[in-house]
Amino acid sequence: MLFHTWTFFIFFIATIAGFWVLRPTRFWLHWILLASAVFYGWWHPYYLLLVFYSTALDYFIVGWMERGPHLAKPGWRFAASVALLVVVIVVGLTAPAGWGGLAAAIGFFAAVLAVGHWLRSRRNWLLVSIINNLSVLVFFKYAGFVIENLNTLLARLGAGQLPSAESLMPPGWEYVLPVGISFYTFQSMSYTIDFYRGIISREPSFVRFAAFVTFFPQLVAGPIERAKNLLPQFSKIPHVKLVDVTDGVSLFLVGLFKKVALANYLGLYVDRIYGDVGLQSGAALALATFAFGWQIYFDFSGYTDMARGVARCMGFRLMLNFRNPYLAVSLADFWSRWHISLSTWFRDYVYIPLGGNRVDGLNLQRNLLITFVISGLWHGAAWTFLIWGALHGLGLIANRGLEQASWWRDRFPPLAKRLVVFVFVCFAWVFFRAESL
């Protein structure tokens, strides 16, 4: 269910109507949670289980982390309610094929509960959360890529082949990439990490936490919200003013225009040129490369604007995710403007823990390169994305050297700097778009 389809328009009208009817009651948040489940399940109902499984596990883990060394069992009534919710969703939407996946998920959840007595350390519980979230993400997004490359290597060595990722799925399940898994996984992980660091307090309501993780406007394409910004907005009935509705509709229409009128039409030109590279001139390829830079910007920022507009119509405020990135005067400036929620996520949870700017020389360069290689792989499971990330990591290393050179820092005009950054970013986009090496 994409924002620029009639299906979503009908869904959103129904969601808004139910939201306004239930606003005076305590069930308005339950309605948003239900709408988010319908929105996500529209693509592939099986994978609703993954979302609510990870959500429930992270909710319980933070509760156990809060109790510290004196671990207490969660209330059986609440645990039974969560289990019933999962069973109803899975059985209602995926039966009979979903029973294998349901058994696997419940089995893993029971295993975590069983070893809980030994996991009295807050750090150990944090590791369980991180390993769980990354394991699910890695399997569904990268298992096929890893197995394919390992099998290529094993074939050259004359060894046996590993089983395909599809063969590892429960009976009746397809091996497809769950929509938005990279976004909601990072959003849920940020909650547990921020709680561990003492940045936020535990959210006592499972409904509020589940609404935070699965909030449908930003569930599949961001922005990746932090708990300290979005969770408090679910603590009280949003006070929707007329300006919220008008601003929300305006944001949505601007995003729709970017996506449909600009990105899609630029995409037609780019696809035609790149579809037969051998017959194109150098000028045509260069123009298509720059056109793709604008296409991907209008596509990403347009979808984010639509997400922010939908949320704003209901009184919720999502963060600004793009801030004129092609006006950046340096590559570091570019990453402070492009996909801000993702770049700050990697800064706070990967780059800084590796040492960030507290180290210098080769260690700092290593941190930049590792962070951006991981960022590249976050976008997709292919060598092309890894190269794209590595190029930006190397570019930022070079950027730090340029900023120390007086001829660049003081004498190079801002317009020329913007041009250099734009050309470099567009060059890197070539690898981002490429289907293979």
**Which residues are catalytic, by number?**
379
154 Cβ contact partners less than 8 Å away, ≥ 6 residues apart: 160, 161, 162
Cβ count within 10 A of residue 78: 13
Could you tell me if 52 and 86 are in contact, meaning their C-beta atoms sit under 8 angstroms apart? yes
Nearest C-alpha neighbor of 196 from the set 358, 66, 389: 66
C-alpha to C-alpha distance for 196 and 188, rounded to whole angstroms: 13
What is the C-alpha to C-alpha distance for residues 81 and 60, in angstroms, rounded to an integer? 13
How many of the other CB atoms lie within 10 Å of CB of 123?
Answer: 10
Distance separating alpha carbons of residues 50 and 170, to the nearest angstrom: 13
Angle at alpha carbon of residue 386, lines to 190 and 353, rounded to 5°: 35
Paired tokens of 228: 């300290």
Residue pair 43/179 in contact by the 8 Å Cβ criterion: yes
Is 414 in contact with 329 (CB distance < 8 Å)?
A: yes
Structure token digits, residue 205: 């309501």
247-278 core/surface letters (b: 16 or more CB in 10 A; e: else): bbeebbebbbebbeebbeebbeebeebbeeee
Rounded to an integer, what distance in angstroms lies between the CA atom of residue 307 and that of residue 230?
Answer: 14
Alpha helices in 158-223, H assignment, sequence order: 181-196, 206-214
Please choose, from the candidates 188, 172, 192, 168, the residue with its C-alpha nearest in 3D space to the C-alpha of residue 180: 188
Q: Nearest CA to 302 among 363, 222, 381?
A: 222
d(CA 227, CA 415): 38
Closest alpha carbon to 53 in 5, 106, 131, 120: 106
The whole-angstrom separation of Cα 158 and Cα 129 is 39
Contact 188, 215 (CB under 8 A): no
282-313 and 414-433 are packed helices; what angle lies between their axes, rounded to 10 degrees? 90
